């Protein structure tokens, strides 16, 4: 069970056991001393009582001596002992009564002694007055009568009894005090021996178990000191590396801080450029709106041109039809002229003039046919030009449509650009704000890193000190181990 | 006024002057010195038909085919209040013609000669009617910087009218 106790507990138990023994010894000694003190007090009181008894008897003797000297001599100067004795005896009786306060039996004895004293003093007073008044002889008769002697003897006996009682009491107190003293001596001697034995046993046990535990603890502490030393070494190395890393991080954070400030400035410039771009986009949107209106007008004009050109094409086609009609008429005229010529040739000389006219008609028909061919060619050119113009115009219309759609797209793009620029502005402002917050955070982090770096350096110093302390502790452990083992 | 319109005005003036001069010119027509011919197309080849061999030239009207008609005869058609036979000039000349006839020349024998195209009428000098070269006796009308074979309409129609005929073209 003791092996599981701590050293403090063992020491406390040893001290508690010794304390119990000391308390026992002290208690016994106290009670013995208290009994001795009570016995001494009782002895002192008994001696005091004996003294008072002796003093009462002495005062009564003084009073009787003074009475006798006056009675014999008639000289009142002999009354001085009488007077002092009579005065003292009252006080002494009172003191004696006080000493026996609470003791009824003794108080009765004191009452009896006080009566006897009173009777005696009255007899002495009577004799003195008788001497003064009646002379010696009369006085002698009273004395010879023996009353005073009786009183005095009774008083002396009573006081003797009381004195003897005190003497007996003193004897008993002496015996009791001797027993108490012997008991106290024995108790102290035995208790001291027991206490010494117990303390030796407890000391041996405590020393053995403590040495064992301390040895184990010191061994553990030695191992722990070695481990602590190694750990401190590693921690010192780590703290040094950490301090170096924190310095690098601090440098990096400074660079990051500068970069964040540059980003904040750039974001602010981007926001300004974005605002200008937004203004340009709005102006562009207005310009595109006007361009869209112009394009719509151009489109209407182009559609009108197409309509007119198609109408022109239809009119050209109608002209072609008329030209066909004219050509047909010219061809028929030509055929008629040919037939007229044939008839004129058949008529011989008579048809000569008619033949000339028919020939002219034919030539005229030929010219008309040639002209109609030219007109047809021109009409074809016109139709081709109209078709080309229509196609070109339709292509232009389509281009205008495409342009209008593109303008619409451009307008939408401008609107989108304006929206995007606003978004960009807001984003740039957010970036600026975030970057400022980031800068503040980086500054705080930089401060924290500076503190951490300082802490790392302090930790490095502390770790170095810890390493030194661990080394010293290991050395102390080895020394303590040697002390314990030796 | 642009250049085209000026040319047109100039041409109109020329035509007017030529037309007016026609009434004041001296009539000159030597039948023996000038030959009037019609240029027609047959099977892609232009042939010359002398007007003196014709009595009419018109667009080809409806041709009614006849049962058992001879080769080269397309049928009959109406002309001048009477029915005349119509023959294919291409067939008569022994040429392959896939196109339908559009024009009809009527010979003095009242035989219709169907051709596919009409080129026009030209007047050439008598000396322009000659063989193209010395190796062939066939006559050609030389006009417009070209030589056109002259179809002997009379011989052709006579051969058509005869029980057995052979092509009478001057074409070699």
| Domains of chain B from N-terminus onward | 29-161 (2.40.50.180)
- Spell out the domain ranges in chain A: 2-214, 231-485
The pLDDT value given to residue B32? 57
The listed CATH number (1.10.287.950, 3.30.1490.20, 3.40.50.720, 1.20.120.1200) that belongs to domain A231-485: 1.10.287.950
Q: Which residue of A has its CA nearest to B105?
A: A339
- Residues on chain B touching A341 (C-beta within 8 angstroms): 36, 51, 121
Give yes or no for a contact between B124 and B142, defined as CB atoms under 8 angstroms apart.
yes
Instruction: Number of A to B CB contacts under 8 A, please give it.
Output: 41
CA distance B70 to chain A (A): 29
pLDDT of B170 strictly over 80:
no
Q: What CATH number is given for A2-214 in this structure?
A: 1.20.1440.210
Residue A260 has a pLDDT of 80
Is there a contact between A16 and A165 (Cβ–Cβ < 8 Å)?
no
Reported residue count of chain A is 486
Q: Which of residues 354-393 of A touch B (CB under 8 A)?
A: 355-356, 359-360, 362, 364, 366-367
Residue among B20, B29, B54, B109 with most chain A CBs within 10 A, to mutate: B29
- Top residue of A331, A333, A345 to mutate, by most chain B CBs within 10 Å, is A345
Write the CA distances from B57 to B75, B79, B114, integer angstroms. Answer: 17, 10, 10
Are residues B54 and A352, on separate chains, in Cβ contact within 8 Å? Answer: no
Neighbours of B136 (CB within 10 A): 12
How many other CB atoms are there within 10 angstroms of residue A369's CB atom? 19
Residue labelled with tokens 């000039």: B89
What gap in Å lies between CA A267 and CA A320, rounded to an integer? 73
Band the pLDDT of B114: cuts 50, 70, 90: very high
Q: Is B27 on the interface with A (CB under 8 A)?
A: yes
Q: What is the pLDDT of residue A3?
A: 66
- Which of A346, A356, A366 is facing B55, going by the closest CB pair? A346
Distance CA A180, CA A30 (A): 11
Report yes or no: A128 and A71 within 8 Å, Cβ to Cβ: yes
Give the integer Cα–Cα distance in Å for A6 and A175.
50
Gap from A391 CA to chain B (nearest CA, Å): 26
Query: Which residue, among B121, B123, B144, would best test binding to A if mutated, counting the most A CBs under 10 Å from its CB?
Result: B121
A339 reaches B (C-beta below 8 A): yes
Over 50: is that where the pLDDT of B112 sits? yes
pLDDT of the residue at B171:
44
Burial class (CB in 10 A: 0-12, 13-18, 19+), A96: buried
pLDDT of B104: 93
Contacts of B123 in chain A (CB under 8 A): 359
How close, in Å, is residue B134 to chain A by CA atoms? 31
| Residue in B with minimal Cα distance to A368 | B15
A231: which residues sit within 8 A by CB, 6+ positions away? A470
CB distance A356–B55 less than 8 Å?
no
Q: Which residues pair with B125 in a beta bridge?
A: B34
Closest CA to A164 of A44, A46, A48, A55: A46
pLDDT one digit per residue (tens) for chain A, 486 residues: 666 777 777 778 877 877 887 788 788 778 878 888 888 888 888 888 888 888 888 998 888 888 888 888 888 888 888 999 888 888 988 888 888 888 888 899 889 888 888 988 888 888 888 888 888 888 888 888 888 888 888 888 988 998 898 889 888 888 888 888 888 788 788 878 887 887 888 788 878 877 777 777 777 777 777 787 787 778 778 777 877 887 788 788 888 888 888 887 888 888 788 888 878 878 888 888 888 788 888 878 888 887 888 888 888 888 888 888 888 888 888 888 888 888 888 887 777 778 878 888 888 888 888 888 888 788 888 878 877 887 777 777 777 777 777 777 777 777 777 777 777 777 777 877 877 787 787 778 777 877 877 777 777 777 778 778 878 887 887 777 777 766
Number of Cβ within 10 Å of residue B106's Cβ equals 24
Residue count of chain B, please give it. Answer: 172
Whether A355 sits inside 8 A of B29 (CB atoms) is yes
ipTM over 0.85: no
Contact predicate A299/A400, CB 8 Å: yes
pLDDT value, residue A241: 82
pLDDT band for position B168 (50/70/90)?
A: very low
Q: List CB contacts (< 8 A) between B31 and chain A.
A: 345, 348
Picking from B22, B52, B58, the nearest residue to A345 by CB comes out as: B52
Q: How confident is the model at residue B169 (pLDDT cuts 50, 70, 90)?
A: very low
Inter-chain CB proximity A341 and B51 less than 8 Å: yes
> Is A342 in Cβ contact with B54 (below 8 Å)?
yes
pTM (predicted TM-score) = 0.43
């Amino acid at each position: 069970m003791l092996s599981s106790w701590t050293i403090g507990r063992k020491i406390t138990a040893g001290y508690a056991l010794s304390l119990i023994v000391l308390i026992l010894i002290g208690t016994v000694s106290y009670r013995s001393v208290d009994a001795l003190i009570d016995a001494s007090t009782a002895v002192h009181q008994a001696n005091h009582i004996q003294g008072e008894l002796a003093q009462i008897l002495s005062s009564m003797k003084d009073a009787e001596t003074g009475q006798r000297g006056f009675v014999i001599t008639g000289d009142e100067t002999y009354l001085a002992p009488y007077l002092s004795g009579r005065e003292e005896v009252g006080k002494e009786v009172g003191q004696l009564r006080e000493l026996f306060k609470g003791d009824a039996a003794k108080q009765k004895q004191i009452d009896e002694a006080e009566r006897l004293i009173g009777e005696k003093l009255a007899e002495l007073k009577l004799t003195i007055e008788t001497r003064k008044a009646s002379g010696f002889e009369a006085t002698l008769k009273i004395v010879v009568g023996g009353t005073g002697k009786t009183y005095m003897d009774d008083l002396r006996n009573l006081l003797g009894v009381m004195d003897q009682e005190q003497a007996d009491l003193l004897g008993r107190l002496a015996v009791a005090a001797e027993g108490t003293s012997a008991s106290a001596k024995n108790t102290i001697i035995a208790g001291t021996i027991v206490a010494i034995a117990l303390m030796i046993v407890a000391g041996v046990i405590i020393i053995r178990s403590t040495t064992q535990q301390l040895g184990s603890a010191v061994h553990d502490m030695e191992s722990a000191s070695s481990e602590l030393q190694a750990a401190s070494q590693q921690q010192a190395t780590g703290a040094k590396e950490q301090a170096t890393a924190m310095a690098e991080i601090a440098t990096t954070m400074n660079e990051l801080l500068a970069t964040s400030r540059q980003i904040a400035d750039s974001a602010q410039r981007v926001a300004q450029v974005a605002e200008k771009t937004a203004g340009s986009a709005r102006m562009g949107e207005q310009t595109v709106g006007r361009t869209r209106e112009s394009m719509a007008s151009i489109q209407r004009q182009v559609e009108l041109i197409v309509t007119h050109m198609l109408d022109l094409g239809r009119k050209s086609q109608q002209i072609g039809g008329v030209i066909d009609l004219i050509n047909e008429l010219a061809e028929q005229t030509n055929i008629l002229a040919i037939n007229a010529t044939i008839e004129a040739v058949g008529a011989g000389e008579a048809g000569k003039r008619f033949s000339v006219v028919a020939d002219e008609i034919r030539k005229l028909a030929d010219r008309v046919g040639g002209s109609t061919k030219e007109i047809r060619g021109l009409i074809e050119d016109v139709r081709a030009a109209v078709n080309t113009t229509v196609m070109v115009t339709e292509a232009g219309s389509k281009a205008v449509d495409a342009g209008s759609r593109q303008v619409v797209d451009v307008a939408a793009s401008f609107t989108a650009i304006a929206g995007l620029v606003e978004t960009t502005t807001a984003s740039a402002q957010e970036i600026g704000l975030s970057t400022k917050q980031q800068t503040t955070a980086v500054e705080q982090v930089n401060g924290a890193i500076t503190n951490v770096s300082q802490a790392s350096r302090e930790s490095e110093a502390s770790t170095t000190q810890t390493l030194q302390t661990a080394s010293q502790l290991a050395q102390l452990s080895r020394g303590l181990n040697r002390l314990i083992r030796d | 006024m642009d250049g085209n319109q000026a040319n047109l005005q100039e041409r109109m003036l020329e035509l007017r002057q030529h037309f007016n001069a026609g009434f004041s010119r001296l009539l000159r027509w030597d039948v023996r010195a000038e030959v009037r011919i019609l240029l027609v197309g047959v099977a892609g080849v232009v042939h010359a038909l002398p007007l003196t061999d014709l009595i009419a030239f018109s667009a080809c009207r409806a041709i009614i085919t006849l049962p058992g008609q001879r080769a080269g005869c397309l049928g009959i058609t109406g002309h001048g209040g009477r029915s005349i036979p119509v023959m294919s000039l291409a067939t008569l000349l022994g040429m392959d013609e896939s196109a339908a006839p559009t024009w009809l020349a009527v010979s003095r024998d009242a035989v219709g000669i169907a051709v596919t195209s009409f080129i026009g009428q030209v007047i050439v000098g008598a000396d322009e009617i000659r063989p193209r070269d010395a190796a062939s006796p066939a006559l050609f009308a030389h006009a417009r910087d070209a030589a056109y074979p002259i179809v002997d309409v009379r011989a052709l129609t006579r051969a058509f009218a005869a029980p057995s005929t052979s092509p009478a073209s001057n074409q070699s």
